[in-house]
Amino acid sequence: MTDIAHDPARQRFTTEVDGQAGYLEYEREGDALVITHTIVPPAIGGRGIAGDLVRAAVEHAKAEGLTVDPRCSYADAWMRKHPEYQGLRA
């Protein structure tokens, strides 16, 4: 699992691996956390980092009593592969 920091002021979850930054951006719409982008540079791709970022955002939403609207195609696909989180889908 990657070390992930939450920056609520910038509405981002971020991580750094081998000097490269990956991040997930979100917006709040009412009681939903809307995942808009998941970005992982190719240099650090293929290590599950994007999945770790999505999991961190979804777990945050769960802890805050929010639903999740995965508008980012990666986040949507990740949620489909993890049925344990389907109940959080907005």
Type and span of the H or E element at 5: strand 5-7
Residue 7's pLDDT band (cuts 50, 70, 90): very high
Interior angle at CA 37, CA 74 and CA 88, nearest 5: 65
pLDDT in tens, 14-67: 999 999 999 999 999 999 999 999 999 999 999 999 999 999 999 999 999 999
**CATH number of the domain encompassing residue 59:** 3.40.630.30
**How many domains does one find in the chain?**
1
- What residues make up the domain containing 73? 5-88
Evaluate if residue 1 carries a pLDDT over 80.
no
Model pLDDT, residue 75: 98
Compute CA 47 distance to the chain's CA centroid, rounded to the nearest angstrom.
15
Interior angle at CA 33, CA 31 and CA 37, nearest 5: 160
